[in-house]
A and B are shown apart, each in its own frame.
Chain A
Amino acid sequence: MKNRTIKVDYLARVEGEGALLIKTKSGQVSDVKLRIFEPPRFFEAFLRGRKYSEAPDITARICGICSVAYQMSSVHAMENAFGITVNGQLRELRRLLYCGEWIESHALHIYFLHAPDFLGYDDAIQLAKDYPNVVQKALQLKKAGNDIVALLGGREIHPINVKVGGFYRVPTRRELAPLAEKLKWARDAAVETVKFTAGLPFMEFEQDYEFIALRHTSEYPMNEGKLVSNRGLDIGIRDYEFYFEESHVQHSNALHSTMKQKGAYFVGPLARFNLNFDRLSEIAQSAAKDVGFVPEIRNPFKGIVVRAIEVVYACEEALRIVESYEEPTAAAVEVVPRAGFGFGCTEAPRGILYHRYRIGDDGLIKDAKIVPPTAQNLGTIENDLRGFVAANIDMPKDWLTLRCEQAVRNYDPCISCATHFLKLDIEGS
């Protein structure tokens, strides 16, 4: 059997820059390297010496798609360090903001980045030529999320209204009210999206993953919870670094995160869904069941359907918060900084986002650690590619190359918000 190399020099529709190289030798996969040219931890260094209060706005710049997630993990970590709890309507507003981000990020990925793969289009522009109404609806769905983020965050990207302790300004009931109609429409559009995505042609491919997600006592997880897995992990977030470690791999600037003594694991929508199905709302659960989606889903290509189910949930949850909103008496709780460590872990659209800070008694950040979801999925993406190429080794190279790109996009990787030159190579020795 021939030796081959699958090589994609420019992997489009993935955030950030990187390249993929897969080598086969005598019909076996000999090497898989997802090279990420992510600028090494600039932001962690940049945070040192800055005021604790600057962390939400600085970390929001790490990603234009999931800036709310960065803000949420950072404010929770700071509040954890200072012994503050944010409850009531302020907590609800944070959840609403997060719903907005899930809606916009998932809608973008489902329709603009991932659906073209399934339907055989190069990109969303080509898709829009044949399905203008679908793309038009997708834009409107995404906009429902944008509208939440713009209203609560002060603007659509890199929101600036979030602070440690709460918000700079909270909306009035009257300001939030117009979101309700949009969210009802969006919820229905999301239910249609579940049907649309479930009708896509899926590759037969399953792997045996360790799924990891937050789990909350009563909610589908966003801001809070314990870290659990389908293989018995059950820890508080402050123990994260006892169980997980980051290592530098030679072929990539991005650090790979692994479970100590265990290896790769899976974070993101599929992990949340499999571990928290019982916490989804009734409508989201029935939308899932209607298309035959119940845990445990182990085909990563089906993540697109799970994202759609999460959009249903996020629209419904946002609607619940909007309709029951009472303006809080203060926009934020009082914050008195003190020296110590703070831990934050929230569910970004792509999976758990861990922040840990050390704060000095002057309120300045002495040390920061940020582990984004994509760094945690990199090992799993490589494992998927290894398994997928091995199972399809006889398929034509062009077909295999496209499917490998699709397999990377299953994870909606947000590699960095750098110039996006993601390159993919499949190479024979």
Chain B
Amino acid sequence: MEEPAGKMTSERIRVRLVGVGNEYRGDDAAGLIVAREIRRRDIPGLEVWEAGGGTEITEQIDGAEAVIIVDAVVSGAEAGTLVRFDAAAGRLPGFFVNCSTHAISVADGVELARVLGKLPRRCIVYGIEGREFEPGLPLSGEVKRAAEEAAELIEREIRAMSAM
């Protein structure tokens, strides 16, 4: 994939945001919705990518200085619950595995990058607890609100990261 064009000031860290999900499967779209919302905000130096699942994650985070991944999760918590993990600090919890829509989950994709020595120095993963994943359903109300909240938090984190 070609990198988006855009001029960077040399002191800024380039942040890559990867939204993960399938927009035709209810709350699974959460990661994509957040990524698209943040793309609209036009943050300088930010690259926004989309992925269908963890399969592409290993490649998509390769070569980035700092990455933020956002995906739907199923952990048993209340729908709309937001979680944040520092993937650089350790293995991601299994509930990314169980809610993944693809052969390799986001957690596995990140883990594979770690094993191959390709995990970016900064790698933060946000999870949004989903409720319904049936095809054709819209985003549930709880997840829609959580996605808005996540976009705020993530924008703040991106701005803090890129100023580091």
Contacts and interface: CB of A to CB of B under 8 A. Distances in A.
B86 to A, nearest CB: 19
Interface in B113-157: 115-117, 133-136
B62 to A, nearest CB: 8
Q: In the complex, which range does the number of interface residues on chain A fall in?
A: 35 or more
Contacts of B23: 61
A155 B24 contact: no
A418 B56 contact: no
Contact of A132 (B53, B59, B111, B115): B115
B55 A65 contact: yes
Dominant SS at the A interface?
A: helix
A128 B115 contact: yes
A186 to B, nearest CB: 15
A177 interface: no
A159 to B, nearest CB: 12
Contact of B116 (A128, A146, A155): A128
B1 A419 contact: no
A417 interface: yes
A420 B111 CA distance: 18
A125 interface: yes
Contacts of A112: 55, 103-104
A146 B24 CA distance: 22
B55 A108 contact: yes
Interface string B84-127: 00000000000000111111100010011001110000000000
A124 B101 contact: no
Contacts of A142: 59
B70 interface: no
A419 B101 contact: yes
A158 B102 contact: no
Interface in A121-135: 123-125, 128-129, 132, 135
Interface stretch (A38-46, A91-99, A198-206, A321-329): A38-46
Given A43-B135, A64-B22, A157-B51, A135 B103 contact: no
B101 A420 contact: yes
Given A14-B103, A157-B52, A418-B25, 17 more contacts: A46-B135, A64-B53, A65-B102, A108-B55, A112-B55, A113-B103, A124-B108, A125-B108, A135-B115, A146-B59, A157-B56, A158-B52, A417-B53, A417-B101, A418-B101, A420-B101, A420-B103
11 contacts: A42-B136, A64-B55, A65-B102, A65-B103, A123-B108, A124-B108, A128-B112, A135-B116, A417-B25, A417-B101, A417-B102
